């Protein structure tokens, strides 16, 4: 039984490696991994971070290349666009999207460094990372938490969390592409995001570690202090009477739906252990809410808005499970993390590496040969401390 299980894991690891190899492109001299050869043919911000996090287990040079090329899309003010690398006849076009995505870059850089121990890579990348975090501070911080501008920037395009922010359901249609891509088109929607802020808090901690490795003690303690300020602000801004963290609209209205983002603070170790335990016991392993057959749904199954096939309105997404898995391990919830991994593997065994999955049936949905679903490999490795 155990031998069969190990064999299955090896097969999944091998097919993930092959998928990332097949999705790799060199366009106008930049080498990176496309999310899916069928639907998403450019470079995407958080996708590339997740690809690099998996690639480091196979080929650290390829993982470094992925992040280098991502940082080469940086604008002169420090912003890093969520989509870039459009080309025509082999030439790069001077155009990118106008939004960013949740900031997982410092996390990816640090994880890749921890495998490859390439200090040159780290010192080459660090100034660009500093400039990106400076830009985030200037343009995306509000009350010390992160706001996301327009639904595409959240990476959760049609999520229920945007339902109360947009006057019309723009996020559920391709109309959302106007503020994302069209120059000068007004960007009016924004919300204070628990998931983006959790990624940000973690990124600040990574920045502190990276600066420390590079011997810059001053930058390191400044990032460490900033991390603490953001974590304190998260409790102040997001935490509600039920001790859960909720998103807020631009005008400061609570967005009351239970989504996967209630678990995001675990990723940044942003809540006390007692609250983490309550979160896991009452909400995560609760079959009425998030412990469906193929968890976790992005919207609690108990929510009237839950739609198991609705893109970001219910399905299971691998990057969310990966965040949660890391969070559970950070707090030492090993048994629940192991169960989450087994249930996640069951969906991949059933349906392959798909963009997202029906959390009730494990049916694969959306794009095929989808890059970041290989994060399940990092979950396998992470459960062994690798
Ligand atoms: C979709 C997802 C977004 C992702 C992109 C590329 O727009 O919602 O999060 O980055 O596809 O995979």
* pLDDT tens digits for range 276-289: 999 999 999 999 99
Give the Å distance between the CA of 39 and the centre of ligand 1. Answer: 10
Ligand 1 in contact with 40 (CB < 6 A)?
yes
Q: Which atom of ligand 1 is nearest to the CA of 155?
A: 9
pLDDT higher at 214 or 87: 214
Mutate which of 37, 44, 365 for ligand 1? The one with the most ligand atoms within 8 Å of its CB, which is 44
Q: Does residue 136 carry a pLDDT above 80?
A: yes
Confidence of residue 117 (pLDDT cuts 50, 70, 90): very high
Distance in Å from the first CA to the final CA of the chain: 23
Give the Å distance between the CA of 216 and the centre of ligand 1. Answer: 35
Q: Which atom of ligand 1 is nearest to the CA of 319?
A: 9
Q: If you average pLDDT over every residue of the chain, what do you get? A: 97
Q: Which atom of ligand 1 is nearest to the CA of 82?
A: 10
- Residue 81 DSSP one-character state: -
Lowest mean pLDDT among 90-99, 204-213, 220-229: 90-99
Which pLDDT value is given to residue 1?
62
b/e code 73-90 from CB counts within 10 Å (16+ = b) = bbeeebbbbbbbbbeeee
Ligand 1 in contact with 46 (CB < 6 A)?
yes
Tens digit of each residue's pLDDT (9 = 90 or more) over 33-84: 999 998 999 999 999 999 999 999 999 999 999 999 999 999 999 999 999 9
DSSP 291-319: --SS---SB-TTSTT--TTSTTSS-B-HH
Give the Å distance between the CA of 155 and the centre of ligand 1. Answer: 6
* Protein residue with least CA distance to atom 2, ligand 1: 155
Ranges of each domain in the chain: 270-386
Q: Is the pTM of this model over 0.95?
A: yes
| Closest alpha carbon to 346 in 6, 3, 8, 4 | 8
């Amino acid at each position: 039984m155990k031998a069969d299980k190990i064999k299955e894991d090896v097969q999944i690891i091998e097919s993930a490696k092959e998928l990332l190899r097949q999705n790799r492109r060199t366009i106008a001299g930049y080498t990176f991994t496309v999310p899916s050869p069928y639907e998403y043919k450019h470079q995407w911000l958080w996708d590339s971070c997740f690809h690099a996090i998996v690639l480091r287990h196979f080929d650290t040079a390829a993982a470094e290349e992925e992040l280098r090329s991502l940082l080469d899309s940086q604008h002169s003010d420090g912003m890093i666009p969520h989509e870039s690398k459009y080309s025509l006849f082999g030439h790069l076009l001077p155009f990118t999207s106008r939004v960013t995505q949740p900031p997982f870059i410092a996390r990816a850089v640090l994880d890749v460094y921890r495998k490859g121990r390439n200090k040159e890579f780290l010192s080459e990348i660090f100034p660009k990372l500093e400039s990106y975090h400076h830009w985030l501070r200037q343009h995306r911080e509000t009350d010390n938490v992160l706001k996301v501008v327009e639904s595409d920037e959240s990476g959760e395009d049609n999520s229920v969390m945007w339902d109360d922010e947009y006057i019309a359901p723009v996020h559920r249609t391709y109309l959302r592409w106007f503020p994302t891509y069209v120059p000068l088109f007004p960007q009016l929607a924004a919300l204070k995001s628990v998931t983006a802020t959790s990624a940000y808090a973690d990124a600040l901690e990574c920045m502190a570690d990276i600066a420390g490795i590079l011997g810059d003690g001053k930058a390191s303690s400044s990032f460490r202090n900033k991390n603490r300020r953001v974590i304190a602000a998260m409790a102040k801004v997001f935490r509600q009477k039920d001790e859960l963290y909720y998103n807020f609209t631009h005008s400061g209205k609570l967005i009351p739906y239970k989504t996967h983002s209630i678990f995001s603070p675990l990723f940044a170790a942003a809540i006390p252990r007692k609250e983490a335990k309550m979160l896991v016991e009452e909400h995560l392993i609760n079959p009425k809410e998030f412990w469906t057959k193929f968890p976790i749904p992005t919207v609690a199954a108990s929510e009237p808005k839950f739609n198991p096939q609705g893109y970001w309105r219910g399905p299971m997404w691998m990057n969310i499970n990966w965040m949660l898995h890391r969070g559970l391990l950070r707090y030492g919830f090993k048994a629940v993390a192991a169960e989450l991994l087994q249930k996640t593997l069951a969906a991949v065994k059933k349906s392959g590496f798909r963009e997202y999955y029906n959390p009730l049936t494990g049916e694969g949905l959306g794009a095929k040969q989808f890059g970041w679903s290989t994060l399940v490999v990092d979950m396998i490795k992470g459960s062994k401390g690798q």
